[in-house]
Amino acid sequence: MHLGLFMMPLHPPERPMHETLAEDTEKSLLADRLGFQEVWVGEHFSATSEPIASPLMFMAGLVHRTSLNFGTGVINLPNHHPAIVAAEVAQFDHMAQGRFMMGIGAGGLSSDFELFGDIEPKERGKRMVESLETIQRIWAAEPPYDVGGETWPVKISRNVLPKYGVGFMPKPFQPGGPSIHISARSKDSQGVSLAAKRGWGVISANFVAHRILAGHWQSFAAGLREAGRAPDGARWRMARNFVIASTDAEARARATAEEGATRYYFEYLGSLAKRAGLAATMTPREDMDHNTATAEDMIDACVIAGSPRTVLDKLIALREEAGPYGHVLMAGLDWSGPNAAWEAESMARLAQEVMPRLRQHLDRRAAAE
């Protein structure tokens, strides 16, 4: 049972980028000191509230300062030429000496969709798969390259000079390339089934209700069976927002406080989700009118808050109800005002008080089976 940090990241849009980049770096270093094993960073091009356009560039500033494993959460493949992604990922994998996991997606930010031509959802999904297949064929081959594709055919044949390495695409540090992971939002996500069939990992988004997670596991397990693989939660990462304090009452107060980053997080994401018609995945009950759901409703649905004992009990119960997730990813929030101290406490308590007891619980249960 591994612990990681997942950062979109999300900040108030008026904050200067250099300030939030420094803050996200500091948070990653804190995670490393506390014993988190991995950090995942998102990619968005057109929102000052989600200001990292290149997760690889951001993580390159951390790779020699930490022992963390790094993941992209995610590279939105329809927005990139696959040859560029293949080369940049190969380079970063060497910089990290294999401590890299490649999270991919079709995109999730409406302004990015518009920026890159308003490609229809089904077409974005097709392009994501085409791009990854092209990337993996590049990694598996030597020149001359002649990779077909409806969107991005790749060819190097006339300019190959083996003596000087000209015309040769870089290979990743990890033989065959890094592991592939896909994020999941909807209960019956087609991406989860695709991941199971192709041997990819799954990351359940932190901004979906706890009740959605069981659907992710059911789809993942069914897809693994269809592919002739035993259902295994080791490749399933569950991302959640955590607010941990000495008492349940204090944790609840921090989670819902007007000045709290948790409230801002769900006011922001809830507004975007309602605009996109996706807020139904963020409500505590399936029969609730998602258009009238408040930030507090979404906090109740998506956030694990309480004392360390309560959070442990909730994680155990969630594993019983949803499925055998193998990794816990804590969502990183903005550190304005009191939030730096609040989140640092949550990170420390999760790493030092909750996760060791969760691992002990799972070890005892495994030994008894």
d(CA 74, CA 8): 9
- Apex CA 363: angle with CA 361 and CA 367, to 5°? 120
Q: Helices (H), strands (E): how many in the chain?
A: 13, 12
Average per-residue pLDDT for the chain: 97
Instruction: Name the residue among 244, 355, 356 with its Cα closest to residue 305.
Output: 244
Rounded average pLDDT over 99-123: 96
CATH number for the region 1-184 comes to: 3.20.20.30
- Apex CA 351: angle with CA 10 and CA 100, to 5°? 60
Instruction: Tell the burial category of 142 from Cβ atoms under 10 Å away from its Cβ (0-12, 13-18, 19+).
Output: exposed
Cα radius of gyration rounded to whole Å, the chain: 21
d(CA 275, CA 271): 6
Position 285 pLDDT exceeds 90:
yes
Q: Where are the domains of the chain?
A: 1-184, 202-208+232-369
| pLDDT > 90 fraction of the chain, expressed in percent and rounded | 98
List Cα–Cα distances, 172 to 71, 179, 203, 235, 294, in angstroms. 15, 11, 23, 21, 45
d(CA 355, CA 312): 8
Identify any residues that bridge with 327 across adjacent strands, giving them in sequence order: 2, 237
| pLDDT > 70 fraction of the chain, expressed in percent and rounded | 100
d(CA 100, CA 262): 28
Domains 1-184 and 202-208+232-369 share a fold: yes
Rounded average pLDDT over 295-324: 97
Which residues in 111-235 belong to E strands, given as ranges?
145-147, 154-156, 179-184, 201-204
pTM for this structure?
A: 0.97
pLDDT tens readout for residues 92-103: 999 999 999 999
Dihedrals φ, ψ of 362, to 5°?
Answer: -70, -35
> What pLDDT does residue 287 have?
93
d(CA 49, CA 343): 19
d(CA 330, CA 323): 18
> What pLDDT does residue 369 have?
80
- Identity of residue 256: T
Which residues in 248-320 belong to E strands, given as ranges?
303-306
pLDDT tens readout for residues 50-65: 999 999 999 999 999 9
Rounded average pLDDT over 331-354: 98
Q: Where are the alpha helices (DSSP H) in 118-212?
A: 121-140, 190-198
**Cα atoms found within 13 Å of the Cα of residue 62, Cβ hemisphere only:** 30
> What pLDDT does residue 108 have?
93
Rounded to 10°, the helix 339-349/17-34 angle is 20
Yes or no: domain 202-208+232-369 corresponds to CATH 3.50.50.60: no
Rounded average pLDDT over 136-140: 98
User: From the CB of residue 369, how many other CB atoms can be counted at a distance below 10 Å?
Assistant: 4
Which residues in 148-226 belong to E strands, given as ranges?
154-156, 179-184, 201-204
pLDDT tens readout for residues 174-204: 999 999 999 999 888 889 999 999 999 999 9
> What pLDDT does residue 91 have?
98
